[in-house]
Amino acid sequence: MAILSDYEEQQYQKKPSPSPSKPFNASFDPSNPLGFLEKVFEFVAKESDLFKIDSLVNDVTAVLRMVKDKVAAEEKKKKVMDQVVPPPPPPQLAKKVVVEEDVVMEDNTEIQSKDEDKKNGRRAPNTGNGLDMDNYSWGQSLQDVNISVPVPSGTKSRFIVCEIKKNHIKVGLKGQPPVLDGELFNAVKVDGCFWSLEDQKSISIMLTKQNQMDWWKFLVKGEPEIDTQKVEPESSKLSDLDPETRSSIEKMMFDQRQKHMGLPTSDEMQKQDLLKKFMAEHPQMDFSRAKMN
């Protein structure tokens, strides 16, 4: 597990200098962003001991993945805002009754949907496919789980407690009750998990799922479940996957929809087709008592 904020704080403690910062001069060419990053890494390698750390590649990869997820979340939020339709002009008096009936029908449908969620004990996921709790919020993709825990402004990383195990997580401030302390919905890859302190006012945590084919219904045991049928995976994420993984995920999503509608899954449909083909090839056999498991 990589802890970026602790590393940064230790570096400043190890290398006191009369100058609080070192100048870095480089021009950014939008057509060659990798060239700019190369200059940045050369500067960091020259002015610090960052490249002597064994976990450097994993740490940098984790940071890039978090930045990518943040950019994707912002783009998704922007698309949602762009799709907001302005309210239509007031209808004519003659159509007032019809419009009000439509509104009542929509309201009743929404109320029924909410009542069904309450009855099943599930909640609709937030825009990040997770849930917003009182003291923290979380979201997820098929590969990762992202958690945001607000802390008092000016909090230092040395005051933070963040313990991530394969099936358990504990997050909070030293000397205070933990904000998060419980068993995770599913196992995570501890080496692929890390946390950082964002602007000294929130803890950002990324967990890498071991099983990257399922959506989590909750973060830790005891909190409300989300309705995974209402999770909205980003198509851009699927396009980034290799063909085999993408095919498996699309199959899983199809099977989830079929089960939700009470219809056979892809495996069950395949078995039915094989049975029909076998029956057609052997009409002399009696299949009246045949059962398909």
**pLDDT reported for residue 48:** 82
Please determine, for residue 87, whether its predicted confidence score (pLDDT) is greater than 80: no
Which pLDDT band, with edges at 50, 70 and 90, does 121 fall under? confident
**pLDDT reported for residue 1:** 60
**pLDDT reported for residue 236:** 47
Structure tokens at 272: 């039915």
- Cβ distance 238 to 244 under 8 Å? no
Average pLDDT, the chain: 78
Q: Over range 72-88, report the average pLDDT.
A: 73
Measure the CA–CA gap between 202 and 137, rounded to whole angstroms.
Answer: 11
**pLDDT reported for residue 181:** 94
Which pLDDT band, with edges at 50, 70 and 90, does 119 fall under? low
What pLDDT, in 10s, does the model give residues 33-73? Answer: 888 888 888 888 888 887 888 887 788 888 888 888 888 88
List Cα–Cα distances, 256 to 34, 228, 230, 268, in angstroms: 40, 9, 11, 13
Q: Which amino acid is at 148?
A: S
**pLDDT reported for residue 122:** 81
**pLDDT reported for residue 177:** 94
Please determine, for residue 132, whether its predicted confidence score (pLDDT) is greater than 80: yes
User: What are 137's strand-pairing partners?
Assistant: 132, 148
Range of weakest confidence among 45-49, 73-77, 176-180, 237-241: 237-241
- Residue 58 makes CB contacts below 8 A (sequence gap 6+) with 2, 191, 192
Q: Which residues in 7-16 are b (16+ Cβ under 10 Å) and which e?
A: eeeeeeeeee
Nearest Cα to 180, choosing from 243, 228, 222, 143? 222
What pLDDT, in 10s, does the model give residues 268-289? Answer: 888 888 888 888 887 877 766 6
Which pLDDT band, with edges at 50, 70 and 90, does 103 fall under? very low
**pLDDT reported for residue 133:** 92
